[in-house]
Amino acid sequence: MNAAETQYRDALTALQQGRFADAERQFSRFLKGHPDHVGALNLLTIALLNLQRFAEAEPVIARAIALNQSSDVSYYNYGLILKQRGKLKEALEQFDRALALNDKVADTWNNRGAVLNDVGHYGRALADFDRAIALNPKLAAAYLDKGQALAALQRFDEALTANDRAIALEPRLARAYVARGALLASLNRHDEALAAYRQALALDPSRAAARSGIAAKLRELGRLDEALAESREAIGLEPANGELYYDYANVKKVAAGDPLIDAMATLAGEDGATVTDRVFANFALGKAYADIGDHERAFAHWQTGNALKRGQVDYDDARAAAQFRAIEDVFTQALIAAKSGQGDPSSLPIFILGMPRSGTTLVEQILASHPQVHGAGELLLLDRVLHEAPPGVSVRPPEYPRNVAGLDGSALGALGARYASALQQLAPQAARVTDKLPANFFYAGMIHLILPKARIIHTVRDPVDTCLSCYSNLFVNGQDFTYDLRELGRFYARYRNLMAHWRKVLPPDAMLEVAYEDVVGDLEGQARRLLAYCGLPWDDRCLAFDKTARPVQTASASQVRQPIYRQSVGRWRVYEKWLGPLLEELSADPTAVR
């Protein structure tokens, strides 16, 4: 064996033993004498990936591909780098190239599915995870990632089964316990969720995601001081993780002089950081500067964060416009009149809908403080019921909403019964259960047809305050229209027109409109109005909603732990000079800017 072969073997041994820094140094030395060795370039890439030096890894693997364009391994490794750097569309392309050359590699299918998870295509991701599992039934990561896709679809029991399969295959896989904690939290099994996060820490004390999970659970339960301490611990474990700073900034108001502001600023502008980390860090900085009253810097960081995030999402403004038009075209007054009263007679559901950040969480918290009401949070249940029903009853895209006209009374009743039955399982003893998914405003007409006795509460707020609040928050899933001011303004205008359409075609008592500003101005009056509409007796606990001990899993989790306050009313005025594109889009409707 010559010196070069020995050098290559020693580098490979270091890699296999997990001595990644040694492997990186030795492969780099080897490549100085053998710059066209594709195998060494790929192995150096793996070492750099494990060292999280993603920017350095990219030109290495690009050279490997330039030398040999028929290696699926090279495209796979390139996909891993791009995934870590947050370049999700490009990562998907590389995994597709790898699969075109070799579709028998479970890891490639699994990582392709993980990218689809990241961009919100959960159904497609599930198909990839199933392909990976078929190729390698012992691939724990595939079950773990499949669980995440199922969780995003709110199929939590199935997700927990998949996650537990991953743990059975790899009992010491700390990140599986982190995922288990998140699933148990979603199932409202709070003590078990905290235990799962702590099990992850027992297996890996450096696991920042476990600390972050504990912080999130404590925040949902209103234990904000404890949550803040856990967030700081998580950042100490993983200071280059932008999501941890975002979580920290949203637990409580950030104070001037907080040393973590400088850390956020460093990460937000770090060239070597992933796009995703920079997105989170910029949104965290926006929140921090807003808290201390530096509005110019706050907005500048929101602009940067939104621009970066917009590059990661697949939002089609024209397709969104067509969706709104189709709903208005189908749900005419004549159709509503012809089909009304044929759905399921359940009076269990209360739908709270509207634009995100319009007060849906506040209204739900008021109602959920009533002893006869269970607050179920943001459910994807209605969408699932409509799209997964049996043939002949299902309301599936792309046929929806055109196929609604063909549904008879039996089909409408079956859809309503399916929803009501699933809702009742969440809280068997409750007289009413809230579903506060804002985007259910698309389905207001459908709700009335399948559940004519359901209560629909439409929350409204000053349009510009609503849009600014959307723009200044980073949404984990969906709401892809919020990351560009013009697109956001156009979406709001379409939403406003659709709600006007619903008011025109639905019976007057089918929907109650509640203004956020009215709630904060007259809490008792509006709470009484809400309870009367829902057929519930008065209860003073609805006025002390901030004391209600229930988990809140939305971006407003901290705010609803506070007594009513008016600081958010007219908040947009201090940012007016930077909101030009939004105001221009809203100005087509003179009632939109108040």
Give the three-class secondary structure for 392: coil
The pLDDT of residue 547 is 78
Closest CA to 245 of 258, 257, 231: 231
Q: Is residue 582 part of a domain?
A: yes
The pLDDT of residue 310 is 94
The pLDDT of residue 559 is 52
Q: Is residue 566 part of a domain?
A: yes
**Residues sharing a CB contact under 8 Å with residue 384, sequence separation 6 or more, in sequence order:** 153, 154, 155
The pLDDT of residue 561 is 43
**CA dihedral over 367, 372, 377, 379, signed as positive or negative:** negative
Quick one: CA torsion of 253, 201, 157, 381, rounded to 10 degrees?
10
Q: Is residue 34 part of a domain?
A: no
CATH number at residue 438: 3.40.50.300
Is the preceding peptide bond at 345 cis, omega within 30 degrees of 0?
A: no
148 neighbors 117 (Cβ within 8 angstroms): yes
Q: Is residue 20 part of a domain?
A: no
The pLDDT of residue 590 is 45
Containing structural domain, residue 369: 317-586
**Residues sharing a CB contact under 8 Å with residue 219, sequence separation 6 or more, in sequence order:** 227, 247, 250, 251, 557, 558
Give the three-class secondary structure for 350: strand
The pLDDT of residue 589 is 59
Closest CA to 183 of 150, 219, 231: 150
The pLDDT of residue 307 is 97
Q: Is residue 566 within a helix (H) or strand (E), and if so which, with residue range? A: none
Q: Which of the 8 DSSP states describes residue 535?
A: T
Exposure of 28 by Cβ count < 10 A (0-12 exposed, 13-18 middle, 19+ buried)? Answer: middle
How far apart CA 321 and CA 500 sit, in angstroms, is 16
Q: Is residue 481 part of a domain?
A: yes
Q: Is residue 60 part of a domain?
A: no
The pLDDT of residue 186 is 83
Which 3-state string (H, E, C) describes 354-375?
CCCCCCHHHHHHHHHCCCCEEE
How far apart CA 317 and CA 201 sit, in angstroms, is 43
The pLDDT of residue 392 is 67
For tokens 């030398």, the residue is: 67
The pLDDT of residue 398 is 65
* Domain count of the fold of the chain: 1
The pLDDT of residue 397 is 65
Instruction: Show pLDDT as tens, one digit a residue, over the chain (594 residues).
Output: 577 788 888 889 988 999 999 999 998 889 888 888 999 998 999 999 888 888 899 999 999 999 999 999 999 999 999 998 888 889 999 999 999 999 999 999 999 999 999 888 899 999 999 999 999 999 999 999 999 999 988 788 999 999 999 999 999 999 999 999 999 988 878 889 999 999 999 999 999 999 999 998 888 888 888 999 999 999 999 999 999 999 999 988 999 999 999 999 999 988 778 888 999 999 999 999 999 999 999 999 999 999 999 998 889 999 999 999 999 999 999 999 999 999 999 999 999 999 999 999 999 999 999 999 999 999 988 988 888 777 767 776 667 888 898 899 999 999 999 999 999 999 999 999 999 999 999 999 999 999 999 999 999 999 999 999 999 999 977 899 999 999 999 999 999 999 999 999 999 999 999 999 999 999 999 999 999 999 999 999 999 888 765 455 545 444 544 566 667 788 999 999 999 999 999 987 544 443
How far apart CA 217 and CA 238 sit, in angstroms, is 19
Q: Is residue 567 part of a domain?
A: yes
Write out the two tokens for 222.
């209103």
Q: Is residue 203 part of a domain?
A: no
Longest dimension (CA), the chain: 88
269 neighbors 231 (Cβ within 8 angstroms): no
